[in-house]
Every structure is written in structure tokens, then in C-alpha cells.
């Protein structure tokens, strides 16, 4: 069973009298354990695709299935549940809260769960250990390098054991050395069976993925398996 299936999926925005077809009949499957990179120029539809993958938006038409369930027309509350329980997000700007410690930032996705505080902290430390950041658990984001901030953000993304990690230009604010470190970390997570989709404009970043999906004008124009 595919983790995600898009069937003839379209997304249309209306801006005054103008109609923008951001996605145009997309057909796509993301299998469990996939490590895919989505590439495309500005306006290609890759950001809209990621928003729908991450339950931040709904399609205008077509079918969307997640873990075998039809989810095309679900409401905001249900989309919020999927975001909280099934999706881990990694952003270009890290999105760490500046006044919280690294450990407290990592706990944020589970802070509203019914688990005890000690259990939440233990889960956060396990996630930090996976990304090599336990020694920074008590630091605040301003005390970290850019690469360390992104590793902390990845720990936050995996703390809830999500079905899918979505990374939006995750290396955009990093130097070349930290790009390699972050992409090596993604590669390691993929080897452990984590499903990852990375949206990027960088061909070198996309080369780390097992699969490259290219978009143009709201359509998937190429879907290839990389030699990795």
C-alpha cells in the first residue's frame, strides 16, 4: 500500500478574475521508505504539492489517499490532526522558538499529548541522540550554528515517529559543509526506513535522494530513480 497517492489531483486558485492552476492533474505515489526530491522552477507547483502533502491545504479536485484512506475533502480539524500525528516538518528557516532550549523545542510536537513530562523529555533526548545533538539539549537556538539548528529541527520532526517527513529547502540557509552533514543525516534516516520528501532547487541536494520528481506548470514531468 502506498503511503500517499495523488490521482488526477488539481489545485486552482482564483485571484480576482484570474485563475491559477497550481496543480494540473498530478498522478503520484509515495511509497513507505521512499526518499524523494521534488525539483522545479518557481511557479512549477512544487510548493503547492508540499502543502497538500503536509495537510496544510486541500486539493480542488481529484483524489488524495494517505495510508490507504481517502483524505481529499477532510476539514481543518482533521488536517490539523494529520499534521500533528503523521507529518514531521523541516523548514529552511529552522523555525525554532528562540527562548526555549533545544530539548524544549524538540518536545513541541508532543507537548499537548497525554504523556508525562518525563516521558516527553525522554523522547526528545532520544530524537536528539539520533541527530547527534544531545550535548546541545540545554542550549538555546542563538547558541547554535546553522547546521546545529537544522539538526535540532530534524530532531523535532522525528520526535513523534511520523509516517512522513517533509523538508522545504532544508539546506537553503547552510554553508556547503553543513549541507553535506544534513543530507548525510537524511540519508541515514532513509536507510532506517523513514519516508522523506525534500523540496529543493539544488541539483546536488536532490542527488542524495533515491528518487527525483521534476515539476513544471503544475505537472509531474519526470519521475526517476537515482543511482544512489
Q: Give the pLDDT confidence of 136-194 residue by residue, as tens digits.
A: 999 999 999 999 999 999 999 999 999 999 999 999 889 999 999 999 999 999 999 99
20, part of any domain: no
Q: Can you give the residue range of the structural domain that contains 158?
A: 32-61+75-225
Q: What is the pTM assigned to this prediction?
A: 0.92
DSSP annotation string for 50-77 = HHHHTTSS--SEEEEEETTEE-TT--HH
Indicate whether 99 belongs to any domain. Answer: yes
Q: What are the CA-CA distances from residue 67 to residues 4, 30, 75, 185 (Å)?
A: 6, 10, 17, 25
Name which of 138, 142, 104, 139 is nearest 123 in CA terms: 104
SS3 126: helix
Does 228 score more than 60 pLDDT?
Answer: no
Separation of alpha carbons 195 and 36, rounded Å: 8
User: Into how many domains does the chain fold?
Assistant: 1
- The verdict on residue 194 lying in a domain is yes
**Whether the predicted pLDDT of 227 surpasses 70:** no
Entry field: residues in the chain: 228
Which tens digit of pLDDT belongs to each residue from 41-60? 988 999 999 999 999 999 99
* Portion of the chain with pLDDT greater than 90, in percent: 81
CA distance 103 to 109: 12
Q: What is the CATH number of the domain that holds 185?
A: 3.40.50.300
Residue 104 lies in a domain: yes
pLDDT 10s digits, 195-225? 999 999 999 999 999 999 999 999 999 999 9
Bin 198: left if φ > 0, else alpha if -120 < ψ < 50, else beta. Answer: beta
Amino acid at each position: 500500500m502506498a503511503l500517499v497517492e495523488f490521482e488526477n489531483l488539481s489545485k486552482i486558485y482564483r485571484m480576482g478574475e484570474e485563475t491559477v492552476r497550481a496543480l494540473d492533474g498530478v498522478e503520484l505515489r509515495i511509497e513507505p521508505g521512499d526518499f524523494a526530491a521534488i525539483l522545479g522552477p518557481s511557479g512549477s507547483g512544487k510548493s503547492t504539492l508540499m502543502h497538500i502533502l503536509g495537510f496544510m491545504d486541500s486539493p480542488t479536485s481529484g483524489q488524495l489517499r494517505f495510508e490507504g484512506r481517502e483524505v481529499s475533502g477532510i476539514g481543518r480539524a482533521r488536517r490539523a490532526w494529520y499534521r500533528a500525528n503523521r507529518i514531521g516538518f523541516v523548514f529552511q528557516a529552522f523555525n525554532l522558538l528562540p527562548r526555549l532550549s533545544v530539548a524544549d523545542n524538540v518536545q513541541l510536537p508532543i507537548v499537548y499529548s497525554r504523556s508525562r513530562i518525563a516521558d516527553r523529555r525522554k523522547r526528545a533526548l532520544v530524537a536528539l541522540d539520533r541527530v547527534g545533538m544531545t550535548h546541545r539539549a540545554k542550549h538555546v537556538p542563538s547558541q547554535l550554528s546553522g547546521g546545529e539548528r537544522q539538526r535540532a529541527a530534524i530532531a523535532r520532526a522525528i520526535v513523534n515517529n511520523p509516517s512522513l517527513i517533509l523538508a522545504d529547502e532544508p539546506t537553503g540557509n547552510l554553508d556547503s559543509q553543513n549541507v553535506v552533514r544534513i543530507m548525510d543525516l537524511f540519508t541515514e534516516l532513509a536507510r532506517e526506513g523513514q519516508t522523506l520528501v525534500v523540496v529543493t532547487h539544488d541539483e546536488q541536494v536532490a542527488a542524495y535522494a533515491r528518487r527525483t520528481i521534476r515539476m513544471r506548470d503544475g505537472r509531474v514531468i519526470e519521475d526517476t530513480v537515482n543511482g544512489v
